[in-house]
Amino acid sequence: MGVYVHLPVCRRKCHYCSFVSRPLAGFDQPAYFRALARDLAAWQAAVAGGTAALAGGLNSIYWGGGTPSLVSAGAIVGLTGRIRRDLPVSPEPEITVEVNPESLTADWLGRLLDAEAVNRLSIGVQCFDDRVLARAGRLHDRRQAVAAVMIARRLGLMNISIDLLAGLPGQTPAGWQDDVRRAVDLGVPHISVYCLKIDPGSRWYGQGVTGDEDQAAGMWQWACDWLPQQGFERYEMSSFAWPGHRSRHNLNYWRFGEYLGLGVAACSFVGGVRYENTADYEAYLLPSPDRRQAVECRPEDLQFEFIFLRLRTGEGLDRNEYRQYWRQPLPPGVEAALEWAVEQGLAGVGQADGSWRLTGKGFMFSNQVFSRILRQME
Ligand code: SF4
């Protein structure tokens, strides 16, 4: 189980992004942290009162955004302490904080480290080409990206992840390969590689900017093939880690584990029920006890999600785990769809455990597999 905390603040919106975030000038940090504390207190009461029965302890805390590195270290330290005090957090949780290179400082990170409020850093690098970064509305350059890694290292924080984005306008296949090589050369133990997605509501979406999807897919595939040759395990479709450096927090999502979400637009999944917090920043600040709503989900929707998430991982989908979790076997139509995927070379079956795992080709064409499975579950 994990706890996610959303910090909806960015200095400026990147051109492809429509995440729930607001500019620094419109972010009332004290009011937002008061609302987070109320959100936490509501979960604490639900857990203590038995209305939210957690199946296990909380093994991870994840500060995401937005740009957590724009928020004061003291506020993050304070709420991390409250989360650890008020919820059943394990003694040594993984605590990840997302940062952007231009706003990370040694003083800020040092304060989090001194308070044991972070032990893993996720840096939004995206690429190392200054012209491509500027064109995408990113505020950092290559020098700052490298400096962010060095700041963490100098402070003794080695557990670092870098996000890279394939298919940004202006990026070339050769430039992308250079980006991925630079990330590896920096010696970080975790790299996530994504294809550019231009969100509805983003600046580029409004301007009708579209990326070259075929080129982006080819670039992404190159990274997915090359990173394992450099000693990284592909433990999830887009996630690569040295042995022992997988993201505990994200693995919990992909294993269909439970999680609590604090903050505007944050989701939770507890006791088989999905909850969503309001995505309205002003409404979230109100002292209302009803900032989260249960979301009605059909069992077959959740079952599909279970299959979809498991197949994203290197561990794959184990029919026995499915049966144990859902107290029913995998639908025969789903087994048939997976057998089709095996025939097409999109999936394989583990010799030892009989789990279905997508192949490299299967990850590339995962939409075909997922849509075939979905049709069987409708
Ligand atoms: S990509 Fe990250 S930094 Fe850029 S606007 Fe979105 S949340 Fe903010």
355 Cα–ligand 1 center, Å? 36
Sheet holding 267-270, edge to edge: 233-236, 239-241, 190-195, 160-166, 120-126, 89-99, 58-65, 2-7, 259-262, 267-270, 273-277, 292-295
pLDDT lower than 70: segments of the chain: 52-53, 55, 289-290
13 Cα–ligand 1 center, Å? 6
**pLDDT for residue 352:** 80
**pLDDT for residue 55:** 67
**pLDDT for residue 145:** 98
Nearest-CA residue for atom 5 of ligand 1: 13
pLDDT in tens, 197-244: 999 999 999 999 988 889 999 999 999 999 999 999 999 999 999 999
Pocket test for ligand 1, best of 12, 13, 70, 199 (most atoms within 8 A of CB): 13
Burial class (CB in 10 A: 0-12, 13-18, 19+), 285: middle
**pLDDT for residue 377:** 84
Dihedral (Cα; 26, 74, 19, 210), 10-degree rounding: 100
Nearest-CA residue for atom 7 of ligand 1: 66
78 Cα–ligand 1 center, Å? 24
In ligand 1, the atom with minimum distance to the C-alpha of 138 is 4
Q: In Å, how far from its chain's centre is CA 60?
A: 13
Nearest-CA residue for atom 4 of ligand 1: 14
51 Cα–ligand 1 center, Å? 35
Residues with a CB atom less than 6 Å from ligand 1: 10, 13-14, 17, 19, 21, 65-67, 100, 124
Please report the domains of the chain, with CATH numbers, ordered by start residue. Answer: 2-252 (3.20.20.70), 298-378 (1.10.10.920)
DSSP conformation letters of 224-290: HHHHHHTT-EEEETTEEE-TT---HHHHHHHTT--EEEESTT-EEEETTEEEEE-S-HHHHHS--TT
pLDDT in tens, 290-324: 678 899 999 999 999 999 999 999 999 999 999 99
**pLDDT for residue 289:** 61
